[in-house]
Amino acid sequence: MLILLPPSETKRAGGSHRPLDVGGLALPALAPQREAAIDAMVALSADAEAARRVLKLGATQADEASVNTALRTGPTLPAVDRYTGVLFDALNAASLDGSARRWLAAHVLVHSAPFGPVGALDRIPAYRLGAAASVPGLPPLRRLWADAVSAALGESSSFVLDLRSEAYVALGPVPASVPTAYVRVVTEVEGGAVRALNHFNKHAKGAFVRALALARPRVSTLAGMLRWADDAGWTLRHARGSRSVDLVAK
């Protein structure tokens, strides 16, 4: 099983003095796209005002663009430790033991805008770039990433549980040849109907992946995932023939 997570806009600073190793990231076929994105971001960061404008940063956020100057030389952290925010706070990977973190490393990719999908424990620097940004000298991110990421994901025969936001799905759809389920987080309302959630969407996804890392089930199909979720007290609903599942928030 492979789990795809979205990134977070907020990130933890610092890390160890081990610079980014592009060749060591998951899905190594994406190295050309990664190199192009890094080069363009570093070049953009040389002009603070242009970087602030392109990255749509307010006056009080101007300093946030400066992290992109050190993409190749700055400190790195495992991806699941670099990101903060609702989803990653609920996942709380730093509190997991070694076995659970190794499970994350084997089964989870976090889809970043500058590096594409990276392994949960792949070491990445802090950066500032969103899925909708248009960086000078670089094709639109959808054009840069979509075909290459889809091809890389297509090399896997694993069942894919896709927890990404729509913006990041667009940067690399799971190909139709790969068994997959796209997760929607919903809540039940009166009459048995459901409605999609926003803020609690992220919390539920993080908590669900944490539960998987703690249990480390041997799941290789959607049917297996549905059985595990039911046994573990999670509600996943799937309509026959659909490529999506509803995760009913607790």
Q: Which residues of 110-135 are buried (b: 16+ CB within 10 A; e: fewer)?
A: bbbbbbbbbbbbbbbbbbbbebebeb
Query: Of all helices (H) and strands (E), which one includes residue 97?
Result: none
What is the count of structural domains for the chain?
1
Domain ranges, residue 129: 2-248
pLDDT at 223: 95
What's the pTM? Answer: 0.94
Q: Are 249 and 202 in contact (CB under 8 A)?
A: no
Confidence band for 193, pLDDT divided at 50, 70 and 90: low
- The rounded distance, in Å, linking the Cα atoms of 240 and 243 is 9
Average of pLDDT values for 128-141?
Answer: 95
6 CB contacts (<8 Å, ≥6 apart)?
87, 110, 111, 163, 164, 165, 167, 168
Mean pLDDT of the 148-174 span = 95
